Each structure stands twice: as C-alpha cells, then as structure tokens.
C-alpha cells in the first residue's frame, strides 16, 4: 500500500494516478467516494448519514474496475462529471466528517485495494487511519496560493489575484474542517515523507515518489 495524503488541491490525485501508472499499480482516489456520497446527500436533501448510505447503495455508488483504472460509478454511469461541481466541493467536508460515512468509504477502499498487487491511495487519512501500515507514506503540501492557482487552472480559468484569494479562502475553509473533525482528521502521519510541491514540477514530484517506492519496495 502506498498512501498519499495532504490538504485540498495539493496535487494528490493527479500525482497518485501517475505514480500508479508508472508502477503498474492500482490507483484509488478516496476523495471521489466522499464526493459521490455528497452528490447523493445533496440530491436527497439529507444530512442524515444512515439515509445517505442507503440512498448511495440504492443508486449503486461503487468502485468498478475498468481497463487499468478503478472508476467511481453512480446510477450506472461514471460518477466523475457529477462529483466535481462547486455544490459538492462546498459540502463534502461536512459529509466526510460523519463517522458512518467514513466507515462506508473505508470498507470500499479496503476491498478495492486488495484487487491488485500494489495500490496507491490518495486522501486525507490513508496513512494515519485507513492503512496505518502502508509501506510508503507521503504527505504532499504546497503553499495556499500555489494550490489555489493550480485549482483555478485545472478549471481552465485564468488565475487573477482576486480569484486566487477567493479560491485560497475556500481551500482553507475545507482544510480547517478536515483537520479539526474528531474522526480521522487530516494530519501528517509521523512516518510520512513530507514533499512540498510549491516549487516542483509535476514530473519531479511523481519521480520523487516513484524513487521512494523503489527504495522501500525493491521487489
Ligand atoms: O481534490 P481535493 O483535494 O480538492 O479533494 P478530494 O481529495 O476530492 O476530497 C474531497 C473531500 O473529501 C476532502 O475535503 C475531505 O473532506 C474528504 N476526504 C476525506 O475526508 N478523507 C479522505 N481520505 C479523502 C477525502
């Protein structure tokens, strides 16, 4: 198990996907499941965890193996298009703070991680709570403006000063909820390698992690 954790928009998901591709490993984006559950909560206009979980199962929220990828599905379709909107992003930390929701996600992650020989998981609590025995743990960070700018560019927009400030505030609000919740808060595991990506290129951060994995798991 390779755990990549860190705050919002630190580049975990894209980095984890590329690390997994280079190592022939399975990639699991735990945030996608929290986002899927949040989509369900918003559609059902409910914040009751029992109701959210029942609705999620009724709508078939699940991870499926598709070619070399593991993809979240909802209503029989890839969930990606409906889990990245602003409404989901603004609510996901509230939903992810509920213990029952976290148990539901962790069960699915543990199941799917066993599908391959090697799995790369990214999230907030993978190295601390979901797989505390992971062979390699990385904590990715970057300064708030760097993270805000990347998120804006990811949406295909121009990062003006004002937009960066607004986005940095939204990221900070989400990090604050994720770090202060009682169950599995966002924090760096003591044995996680800290990588600050503020001044690193994408390839460089991927290579550092791949090198770390090869060093720890030579086989
Ligand atoms: O991509 P980004 O960093 O914006 O977020 P994400 O990985 O898609 O995760 C969305 C939200 O799900 C986070 O802000 C957390 O509230 C929650 N989450 C969590 O609590 N634990 C995880 N392992 C992954 C995500």
Residues 6 or more apart in contact with residue 22 via CB below 8 angstroms = 206, 210
Per-residue pLDDT, averaged over 116-138, amounts to: 97
**Structural element, H or E, at residue 62:** strand 62-66
Query: Which residue's CA is the nearest one to ligand 1's atom 12?
Result: 31
pLDDT recorded at residue 68: 81
Residues 6 or more apart in contact with residue 97 via CB below 8 angstroms = 177, 181, 182, 183
Q: Would you place residue 47 in the very low, low, confident or very high pLDDT band (cuts 50, 70, 90)?
A: very high
pLDDT recorded at residue 104: 98
pLDDT recorded at residue 147: 96
Give the separation between CA 32 and CA 29, rounded to whole angstroms. Answer: 6
Mutate to test the pocket of ligand 1, among 112, 124, 184 (most ligand atoms within 8 A of CB): 124
Instruction: Using the mean position of ligand 1's atoms as its centre, give its distance from the Cα of residue 31 in Å.
Output: 4
Q: Is residue 175 lining ligand 1, measured as CB closer than 6 Å? A: no
Q: Is residue 14 lining ligand 1, measured as CB closer than 6 Å? A: no
pLDDT recorded at residue 48: 98
Tens-place pLDDT, residues 19-29: 999 999 999 99
Q: Is residue 167 lining ligand 1, measured as CB closer than 6 Å? A: no
Per-residue pLDDT, averaged over 33-48, amounts to: 98
Tens-place pLDDT, residues 165-179: 999 999 999 999 999
Residues 6 or more apart in contact with residue 110 via CB below 8 angstroms = 130
pLDDT recorded at residue 219: 84
Tens-place pLDDT, residues 68-94: 899 999 999 999 999 999 999 999 999
Query: Which residue's CA is the nearest one to ligand 1's atom 16?
Result: 93
Query: Which residue's CA is the nearest one to ligand 1's atom 23?
Result: 123
| Cβ 181 vs Cβ 97: under 8 Å | yes
Q: What is the pTM of this model?
A: 0.96
Q: Is residue 30 lining ligand 1, measured as CB closer than 6 Å? A: yes
């Amino acid at each position: 198990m390779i755990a990549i954790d860190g705050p919002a928009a630190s580049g975990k998901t894209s980095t984890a996907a590329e690390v997994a591709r280079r190592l022939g490993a399975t990639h699991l984006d735990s945030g996608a499941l929290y986002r899927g559950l949040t989509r369900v909560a918003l559609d059902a206009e409910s914040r009751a965890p029992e109701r959210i979980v029942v609705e999620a199962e009724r709508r078939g929220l699940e991870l499926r193996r598709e070619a070399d990828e593991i993809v979240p599905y909802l209503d029989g379709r890839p969930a990606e298009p409906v889990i990245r909107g602003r409404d989901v992003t603004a609510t996901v930390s509230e939903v992810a703070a509920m213990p029952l929701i976290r148990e539901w996600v962790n069960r699915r992650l543990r199941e799917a991680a066993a599908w391959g020989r090697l799995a790369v998981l990214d999230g907030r609590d993978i190295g601390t709570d979901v797989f505390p025995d992971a062979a390699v743990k990385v904590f990715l960070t970057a300064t708030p403006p760097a993270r805000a700018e990347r998120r804006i560019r990811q949406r295909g927009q121009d990062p003006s000063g004002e937009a960066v400030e607004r986005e940095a505030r939204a990221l900070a609000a989400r990090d604050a909820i994720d770090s202060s919740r009682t169950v599995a808060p966002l924090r760096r595991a003591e044995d996680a390698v800290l990588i600050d990506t503020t001044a690193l290129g994408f390839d460089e951060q991927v290579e550092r992690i791949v090198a770390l994995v090869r060093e720890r798991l030579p086989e």
